[in-house]
Amino acid sequence: MNIPEYMQQVGQRARAASRVLARATTAQKNAALLAMAAMLESSRAQLLAENRKDMDAGKKSGQDAALLDRLELNDARIDAMADGVRQVATLSDPVGEITNLNYRPSGIQVGKMRVPLGVIGIIYESRPNVTADAAALCLKSGNATILRGGSEAYHSNHAIAACVRAGLRAAELPDDAVQVVETTERAAVNELVKLVSYVDVIVPRGGKGLIEMVSREARVPVIKHLDGICHVYIDDKADLAKAIPIAFNAKTHRYGVCNAMETLLVAESVAAQDAGVAGFQAQPGCIGGNVGTRFVDDADHAQRHAHLADLDA
């Protein structure tokens, strides 16, 4: 495959599709989203079979348990994908929304109208559900998208993309509105971030190495995150019967995801309560031991600590 030529073709098709999407009605976009969700559910057996190929390859190559957990699809996660797409369909359509209307001294009324960006390139790792999430959000906002998922989820991503394309066709929207890059070659990423004629913005989702590489190589504007530390703060006015299970769930629901809790901040008055310590010890799977502890005075102190932690990360 001639990767530069292939990526140029992908970009051209995405740009043409973006012009159609920009004119699509809310009803069309919602119809496509609902059809996508239905296809995800009706294609469950195919999705699980394709994901099994990725899981087997990951185990064979020695991928760790956290990555395999992010990679795995099961019935519950397929249901969650479909539900997520349906939730996007219920959101108000941002395209054409007008805000901040004001009259100028000349009598002209000036405001801001929300319009699609055009073509969004999204580069991500591991989690195949991102394929459905990204496609749904870009479609609802009237943007075409080029998706480049991690090679470890190649079969899963393409199976999900097939459901997305079926949904687009059902609403008489172009297949090319959502494209998944066919090759796993890293060179495709290098080309994608330089498609200034066809791509309007790049969104990288992944580890620090990926974000830094995209930021360094891109000629297209990049919307990025970098380091972040997920905090949970238990205030002295919190209901501990609710707060402790919430904090515990924030860490243990899934250890391998990027929004799992990394820092627990506890108001000093809460930490002094026996009920606070006992509440955590009573949680299933909680292992006692000495851990680093940081007590804070109030919510403002907690916010300052979280901000400084992000800067230090």
Q: Kindly give the confidence (pLDDT) of every residue in the chain, 313 residues in length, as a single tens digit, with 9 standing for 90 and above.
A: 899 999 999 999 999 999 999 999 999 999 999 999 999 999 999 999 999 999 999 999 999 888 899 999 999 999 999 999 999 999 999 999 999 999 999 999 999 999 999 999 999 988 899 999 999 999 999 999 999 999 999 999 999 999 999 999 999 999 999 999 999 999 999 999 999 999 999 999 877 888 889 999 999 999 987 666 788 888 888 888 888 888 888 888 777 677 788 888 888 777 767 555 556 656 665 544 444 445 555 555 555 554 444 444 4
The whole-number pLDDT of residue 276 equals 58
The whole-number pLDDT of residue 42 equals 97
The domain ranges of the chain are 3-99+110-217, 231-312
> Per DSSP, what are the bridge partners of residue 233?
265
The whole-number pLDDT of residue 122 equals 96
Spatial distance between the Cα atoms of 242 and 245, rounded to a whole number of angstroms: 6
Measured between its terminal Cα atoms, the distance across the chain in Å is: 40
Spatial distance between the Cα atoms of 65 and 204, rounded to a whole number of angstroms: 23
The whole-number pLDDT of residue 205 equals 86
Report how far Cα 34 is from the mean position of its chain's Cα atoms: 19
* Cβ atoms within 10 Å, residue 69: 15
The whole-number pLDDT of residue 257 equals 74
The whole-number pLDDT of residue 288 equals 47
Give ∠ CA 161-164-169 in degrees, rounded to 5: 125
The whole-number pLDDT of residue 311 equals 40
Report how far Cα 144 is from the mean position of its chain's Cα atoms: 16
- CB contact at 8 A, 280 and 252: no
The whole-number pLDDT of residue 303 equals 55
Fold of domain 231-312:
Aldehyde Dehydrogenase; Chain A, domain 2 (3.40.309)
Sole residue written with tokens 């999407």: 21
Domain made up of 3-99+110-217: CATH architecture: 3-Layer(aba) Sandwich (3.40)
Residue 191 parent element (H or E)? helix 186-192
Report how far Cα 274 is from the mean position of its chain's Cα atoms: 39
